[in-house]
Structure 1
Amino acid sequence: MRVVLAPDSFKGSLSATAVCAAMKTGVLRAVPDAEVLSVPMADGGEGTLDCVGAATGGQEISLDVTDPLGRPVTARYLLAADATSAVVELASASGLTLIDPTDLAPLRADTHGTGQLIADAIRRGARSVLVCVGGSASTDGGTGLLRALGALFLDASGAELPPGGGALADLERVDFTHVLPEVHATRFHIACDVTNPLVGARGAAAVFGPQKGAGPDEIALLDRGLARLADVFAGAFGTPVHHLPGAGAAGGTCGGMLAALDATAEPGCELVARSVGLADALTGADLVLTGEGRLDRQSADGKVVSHVARLAAEQDIPVVALAGQTVAPLDDLYALGLTAGLSIADGPRTLDAMTTSAAELLAHAAEQTLRLRLG
């Protein structure tokens, strides 16, 4: 029996690689001579760097940059073995998890550190850069990232605006004359897992601002700033991104890169699956195990489980998702090709207890799944 393991991480508990290890333990308990192939997955957010690195190799580069509030932080990115391409995870330098909840600063937080990672990769020779934009702490429209590449954002008097989205309502023009020359020869790709536009009721500020500490007045100011940024970018680069699906990802970083860097954006799962060769790995499989922390109807909207199910269905391979929690209905996932979605819980447990025992519970659930399959 050939079994492919292609799960997402269980957030706050196990990395995708650790989930694969636990699943493999269970599979081999049931079928000791099974051929087990582990393909850790991610949706383009946190954890993507590790998945792509495990599949493709390359060199992990650590760099001292600035966090969302301008403080020193050591972040990392992946540089290909031939140094021609790089994978940058925004959360590593500009993520919300880098800020204590008591220190949230929605008006001045920015993405400068992510830009520093990109600039370093470009200086080392990368001419294709994949930026995974999940988990940002800012709503700056990617201006911090672009500043790190040499862009200037100026007010009516010609003075440079302070960092963060709170000042963007005063933006008069953008100056790209000092951008690193190599930037113009670099192709930028964005792994994006949301479809929100840049501005408006479903925009970056309105939907994601509250989790970054923004109140109603701050949300309104940030939304005005992003609209002004989009106006200026449309005039400078000819690409209006105000209402473009996905432009609101990562506090508008996606929109800023689409407009100013002529970037392309794709669902993160598709980019990761292609990078790790998932479709080829599935060939000849008898069963696929996937999973994530919580399986519900939102899992069908661009999450790892949905993409794995779709690819497995194309090859008529049964696929079972194991999750910490499953919430019915799962009809949308079944329609995509999921055979079954099962919870790993073995009875009433607290979240802490589930988290602590996740590996053991996953192994047990994988074992039972294989025993059912054999039956």
Structure 2
Amino acid sequence: MMKDDGLKGKRILLSHGDGGALTRKLIEEIFYKKFYNDILIKDQDAALLPACDRPIAMTTDSFIVKPIFFPGGDIGKLAVCGTVNDLAVSGAEAKFITTAFIIEEGFKMEDLAQIVDSMWQTARECGLTIVSGDTKVVEKGSIDGIFINTTGIGVLPAGVNLGFQQIKPGDKIIISGNIGEHGVAVMASREGFSINLSSDCAPLNRITQSILKNSQGVKFMRDPTRGGVASTLKEIAISSHNVDFCINEENLPISQEVNTVCQLLGYDPLYLANEGKILAFVAPEECEKIISLMKELPYGENTCCIGEVQEGKGDVLLKTIIGGTRKLNLLSGISLPRIC
């Protein structure tokens, strides 16, 4: 996005958060300029949403990524994608989102405008309406730039009933593309490394809606964000109790750039954050059909099967390229803080 020259040099003041004239000016010139819609513009203390005769899905999240701008996105795009994706992998159709900003005194006004534009662009891509929000300004040094909190609301289509309880031995495990790219892109940007790699930050609701509409074989889905693919799989395996997940290392989609950085710095790509990937557990007879459906859509072109479900006791087993097997556990300690 081209930055608004009219905002260049301007910064957030404490008085932008006092509820007075500057607050109103900020809302009208930054937020309403992009977020305007018939629900939001009513300017009420609570958004009045249309009634729905289907189950409602709701999720909330907070975003504190550092740096705020990174290759492939920024905190605004990340906030919308992260919220939409939590609804999407639950089987819901994302409809509405609220957003609250906590902004440090002195934050650049043009950076705030760019973040708001990213949120608007991403929400429009998702078919999502921003219906409510809040802004707080805190003293310089109280936070690091800007934090964003969101709540997403969606509706569950008729007949959709996902759950880890449905995972059975023989089911296949699918990933919608290359892993570890968000973690490496943010880390490289933070440390000033020169690397030809962008975050995978992307909305996934079009993919989930397609496979749920066209196949009855989807058992359960998750988006492997913090803790990466390994931690997400382990969490599901623990909940599922009587199954193991067997993953084939040779089938894992990992780019050369991610592999190189991980080898140099000692990271395991299986534990790096993703912000635009789906882990799906599917019936074996529907696996190829679902993969084909996902490959037809943006952000799903590199979808592949990485393993299968076996009888067991809650382990995640990685079959290595050299023929061995090792257990994957939950991430222990801090790998990359401030990643989302």
State the TM-score, normalized to the length of structure 1: 0.20
Please state which structure has a larger fraction of its residues in strand. Answer: 2
Q: Which has the higher contact order (CA 8 A, sep 6+)?
A: 2
Please state which structure has a larger fraction of its residues in helix. Answer: 1
